[in-house]
Amino acid sequence: MWFIVFGAILTFTVLYFQRRQNLERKKLNREIEDLKKKWEVATQNLRIEEGELETVMSAISDAILAIDKEGRPIFFNSKFELVFGQGRLPRFLRVQEIFGDPKILEAFELALREGKSSSNHSFKFKSELGDERYFNLSVSPLSRSGLVIYGALGNFHDVTELKTAEQMRIDFVANVSHELRTPLTSIKGYTETLLDDFQKDPLSLKEPSTQEFLGKISRNADRLMNLVGDLLDLSSIESNEVFYKEWVSTEIIMTRVCRSMEEKFKTKKQILTWNCNQKEVLADPNRLEQVLVNLIDNAHKYTPEGGHISVSWEREDQEVVLKIKDTGVGISVEHHSRLFERFYRVDKARSREQGGTGLGLSIVKHILQKHEGSVSVESALQKGSTFICRFPTPLIKS
């Protein structure tokens, strides 16, 4: 009997423990499932955050590099890779292998070893293709809870455009000062001579040289006036001057411009012809006149006596094309790309002798840009030149 009771108790105990074990296993499985879900959510969130960080970093125009204590990249954005790695920067490279400039390495060292931020380290970087860019570097330490430094973050701000603009400004001021000084020195010199002569002998003003000196003073004053006028024009066109475009008759504007220049052409026995196959152009009439005067005046100045200057107006699809062609001295190809820069002159002496300041073509370029058009040149030395202006003009008047 006791044997049966013992058996029942044993069976009951085994069943009890089996059931408990099953329950615990199920609980454990549930907990594992829960943990798995939490892990998946956490990884997904991390991936989203990583993606967001990457998007933010690639949207930043600066190049960003984060390194660990050994100088190995933890992270760099696409701009950094593009500029400093030509788009194929291996992640195992250390900062010392990317940059040779000790200034850059010292800035990172300072952040890594002493936890100090530093900024405005300027340096020049030459790419494998040979183009040079300028950067300002700021470096900050990366730390956990503000205590343990585990790396450094470098922010490379590209200042190449700023540098170029600054250089252009410096060159411009130097050029303007030089151009102003030459006629001013002449005016001052001749005026002082005349004053001296007058003080010594008031009757000396009747000498023929007086007239010659006064003529020189007047010509130099004209040069100054032209220069100041051109400078004012340039700054007005470049600033926010509004252009009022309207349908301009090419025949009427050509007649007006050519009439005002007739005398000049006669003195050099030059022939000026034009044809207006295209009758109208959409442009600001005053600025268009300035384009014509500048280009026709150049053609006149840089074409010897007896030369021929022809102007044509044609349509090419959505553009009206103005061509000014001369049989003059021509311009060799190496000058073509710089011709439209301010103060650029192929032959400074010849241009100055003609009273030129080197701003005419720059004004033409800016006027065309404001019309969303373009100006170009076709020319070769001793072969004459053709300046081509394109004005966007719809086929149908609106």
Ligand X SMILES: Nc1ncnc2c1ncn2[C@@H]1O[C@H](COP(=O)(O)OP(=O)(O)OP(=O)(O)O)[C@@H](O)[C@H]1O
Name which of 183 and 358 has its Cβ closer to ligand X: 358
In DSSP terms, 377 is beta-bridged to: 387
Name which of 152 and 291 has its Cβ closer to ligand X: 291
Contacts of 71 (CB under 8 A, 6+ apart): 94, 95, 96, 108
299's contact among Mg ion, ligand X, none, with CB below 5 to 8 A by partner kind, is ligand X
The nearest distance, CB 108 to ligand X, in angstroms, is 49
385's contact among ligand X, Mg ion, none, with CB below 5 to 8 A by partner kind, is ligand X
339's contact among ligand X, Mg ion, none, with CB below 5 to 8 A by partner kind, is ligand X
Name which of 264 and 279 has its Cβ closer to ligand X: 264
Name which of 245 and 345 has its Cβ closer to ligand X: 345
Q: Where along the sequence are the contacts to ligand X (CB under 6 A)?
A: 230, 294, 298-299, 302, 326, 328-329, 331, 339, 344-347, 351, 356-362, 385
The nearest distance, CB 376 to Mg ion, in angstroms, is 16
Strand ranges (E), 178-279 = 246-249, 271-276
Residue type, position 397, single letter: K
Closest CA to 326 of 312, 309, 313: 309
For helices 360-370 and 208-238, what crossing angle results, to 10°? 20
Q: Does residue 360 bind Mg ion (CB under 5 A)?
A: yes
User: Cα-Cα-Cα-Cα dihedral of 233, 234, 235, 238, to 10°?
Assistant: 120
Quick one: which segment of 140-148, 225-233, 247-255, 353-361 binds Mg ion (CB under 5 A)?
353-361
326's contact among ligand X, Mg ion, none, with CB below 5 to 8 A by partner kind, is ligand X
Tokens representing 25 are 């296993």
Give the contact letters, 239-278, x = binds to Mg ion (CB under 5 A), - = no.
----------------------------------------
Q: Give the count of residues interacting with Mg ion (CB under 5 A).
A: 2
Name which of 224 and 359 has its Cβ closer to ligand X: 359
CA distance 211 to 205: 8
Name which of 237 and 359 has its Cβ closer to ligand X: 359
The nearest distance, CB 310 to ligand X, in angstroms, is 12
**319-326 β-sheet, strand order:** 271-276, 308-316, 319-326, 385-392, 374-379
345's contact among Mg ion, ligand X, none, with CB below 5 to 8 A by partner kind, is ligand X
Residues 291-320 within binding reach of Mg ion (CB under 5 A): 298
Read out DSSP for 55-98? HHHHHSSSEEEEEETTS-EEEE-HHHHHHHSTT---TT--HHHH
The nearest distance, CB 356 to ligand X, in angstroms, is 3
The nearest distance, CB 294 to Mg ion, in angstroms, is 6
DSSP state of 363: H
CA distance 325 to 311: 6
Residue number, nearest CB to Mg ion: 360
Tokens representing 294 are 């500048």
CA distance 267 to 355: 16
The nearest distance, CB 387 to ligand X, in angstroms, is 7
In the chain, count H helices and then E strands: 10, 12
Q: Scanning the structure block, which residue is given the tokens 């001057």?
A: 241
